[in-house]
Copies of this chain bind each other. A is one copy, B any other.
């Protein structure tokens, strides 16, 4: 969004239809292809450009490398009334995760809450999409996933964790919902790429170099360096970000029987899979809790409204005119982009054109 690079504007429908056709070309059945496109382009709508159509050709390369099964037999392999493990059969995470989230919601309807760990999956798009599926059911939604190792635990020189996002959505009454959705690192990789293009330095606390020293070079990741967990170094609370990233990895990978830690499969198809994998594919963790599992629904919604209004009206620091509620920026971006279209950088637009040409599809 802060990028200066030239860009083109596409309507939501155009990006959705193109993405759906691409997934169909991979052999994904129509309903799944449509769902996968909806999940993917919801990232572009919400301003999380790194997780939207910019990744579409990456999914195709994974499919070409035989790492995505377009017609998976997704199934429950273990369960109790409020928990389950789902095997995604190497399907698109964009399809497997909503399937698992619907199971969590069904369990919550009956038991109050539902918690589903997922193995044998792939990149699932933005976590927020899946968590927000619970909102229409008056439930709290939770979504997390592990990811390719790019992050070092505190005191580690080795990349052991992914950016491992956590999303939690809480319904309100008259106010829009509270939607937290964040990587458990100080910053996402996308911000480093922007700094590289602009020739700028990164702040301390974002990255370290391959020897484990703090660095301000935004290209450090390509040189064997690593992202730091939320907080940065030990002095600034990096051990807490490490705890968070580790929990996402354990909930998603260890509980389900997926790969975890340094074994998590890479998104880019040119990197080899880890030797001696400890599980199947990538892992996710999805949850739903009935808001009225704790308190009568209207009372709970009114309390959420009170919470949101009080925080939104907090006095600001100099230079800022409002305190945001988690979910505000993405919802505002979505409202604008649904009306005015989605800006796509020239580089990504060119990538989509080439992808279309290679599959004989028109963008």
Task: Give the interface of A toward B (CB within 8 A).
Answer: 78-85, 110-113, 115, 117, 152-158, 160, 168, 170, 178, 180, 182-187, 203, 205-206, 208, 211-213, 230-232, 235-237, 239-244, 246-247, 249-250, 253-257, 260-262, 278-279, 289-291, 293-296, 299-300, 303-304, 306-307, 310-311, 314-318, 320, 322-324, 326
| Complexed CA–CA distance, A211 and B81 (Å) | 51
- Do B257 and A295 have beta carbons less than 8 Å apart? yes
Closest chain-B Cβ to A287's Cβ sits at a distance in Å of 9
How many copies of the chain does the oligomer comprise?
A: 2
- Do B254 and A154 have beta carbons less than 8 Å apart? no
- Do A256 and B294 have beta carbons less than 8 Å apart? yes
A246-B178 contact in complex given A213-B317, A311-B160, A318-B213, C-beta closer than 8 Å? yes
Using A157-B316, A246-B326 as known contacts, list a sample of 5 further A-B pairs with CB atoms less than 8 Å apart, ordered by residue number in A.
A117-B295, A155-B320, A156-B314, A178-B250, A278-B303
- Do A241 and B250 have beta carbons less than 8 Å apart? no
- Do B317 and A257 have beta carbons less than 8 Å apart? no
A246-B153 contact in complex given A81-B81, A231-B231, A303-B279, C-beta closer than 8 Å? no
Select from chain B the residue with minimum beta-carbon distance to A322: B155
